[in-house]
């Protein structure tokens, strides 16, 4: 199989963006942001995020304020006909850890709040001393010419500009076909220990399903 080489590259300019109320810093989109994260947690230097033409890349910023901000809004502009959707991550309560999971494999022990839904309601209220994720989904059309495109995210509290983060999108030759057939991607740790754990979980699920069928008279 031939791999698509250079894809789409997003470079974030990690300049400090602070006001008396709001702190903003860039974070790798693969890193989860938690409400208790201190200012600057997981901050990244300028680096590349990959995605193809006719595809997407994600740029993530963390925001935190010592005082509540009633109306936080984000305006994003980008050149070259690229498209951006701006959302913020909501939190959901997780009351218990996955069963039979080693402690060193837990991203954060329960009970805790985990980021999950991406919400589009802007402006929204940022509570005091809570860190949120601001999520930019950038789409590069199939017709985009390879090259560097500049973008800017402006963070506003009420009508006051509270922070600015510049970023760049590098569009390369890699292209996602218009018709895509891959429906599901399964992520699997192939180490013997994890394979045995997965097999054990599968057996427990099948045993549980068998018990339900017998109770329903379908065995």
- The pLDDT > 90 percentage for the chain reads 54
Query: Rounded mean pLDDT of the chain?
Result: 82
Q: Which pLDDT tens digit goes with each residue over 68-91?
A: 999 999 999 999 899 999 999 999
Which among 170, 137, 156 is positioned nearest to 46, based on CA atoms?
A: 170
Helices within 39-191 (DSSP H only):
none
- pLDDT attached to residue 65: 95
DSSP one-letter code for 47:
-
**Burial class of 94 by CB neighbour count within 10 A (0 to 12, 13 to 18, 19+):** middle
The CATH code belonging to domain 8-171 is: 2.60.40.10
Query: In sequence order, what are the residues at sequence separation of 6 or more whose Cβ sits closer than 8 angstroms to the Cβ of residue 20?
Result: none
Query: In sequence order, what are the residues at sequence separation of 6 or more whose Cβ sits closer than 8 angstroms to the Cβ of residue 157?
Result: 19, 21, 22, 69, 71, 72, 73
User: Which helix (DSSP H) or strand (DSSP E) does residue 147 occupy?
Assistant: strand 147-157
Beta bridge partners of 34: none
Contact call for residues 34 and 113 (beta carbons, < 8 A):
yes
- pLDDT attached to residue 1: 38
| Token pair for 194 | 């994890």
CA–CA distance, 140 with 108 (Å, rounded to integer): 34
Residue 42 binned pLDDT confidence (cut-offs 50, 70, 90): very high
CA–CA distance, 19 with 60 (Å, rounded to integer): 19
| Token pair for 144 | 């985009």
Q: Which pLDDT tens digit goes with each residue over 6-37?
A: 444 444 444 444 445 899 999 999 999 999 99
Q: Which pLDDT tens digit goes with each residue over 49-65?
A: 776 899 999 999 999 99
CA 34 vs. chain centroid, Å, equals 12
Q: Give the full edge-to-edge strand order of the sheet including 124-126.
A: 48-51, 8-12, 160-171, 147-157, 69-78, 124-126
Instruction: Sketch the domain layout of the chain as residue ranges.
Output: 8-171, 188-219
| Token pair for 166 | 């510049």
């Amino acid at each position: 199989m031939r791999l698509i080489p250079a894809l789409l590259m997003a470079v974030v300019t990690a300049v400090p963006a602070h006001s008396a109320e709001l702190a903003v810093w860039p974070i790798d989109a693969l890193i989860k942001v938690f409400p208790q994260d201190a200012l600057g947690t997981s901050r990244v230097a300028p680096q590349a995020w990959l995605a193809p033409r006719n595809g997407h890349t994600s740029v993530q910023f963390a925001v935190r304020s010592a005082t509540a901000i009633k109306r936080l809004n984000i305006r994003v502009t980008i050149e070259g006909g690229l498209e951006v959707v701006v959302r913020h991550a909501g939190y959901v309560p997780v009351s218990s850890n996955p069963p039979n999971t080693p402690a060193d494999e837990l991203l954060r022990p329960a009970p805790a709040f985990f980021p999950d839904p991406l919400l589009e309601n802007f402006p929204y209220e940022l509570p005091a001393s809570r860190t949120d994720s601001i999520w930019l989904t950038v789409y590069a059309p199939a017709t985009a010419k390879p090259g560097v495109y500049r973008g800017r995210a402006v963070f506003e509290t009420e009508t006051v500009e509270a922070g600015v983060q510049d970023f760049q999108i590098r569009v390369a030759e890699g292209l996602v076909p218009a018709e895509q057939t891959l429906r599901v991607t399964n992520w699997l740790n192939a180490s013997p220990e994890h394979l045995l754990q997965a097999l054990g979980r599968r057996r427990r699920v099948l045993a549980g399903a068998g018990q339900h069928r017998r109770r329903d008279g379908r065995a």
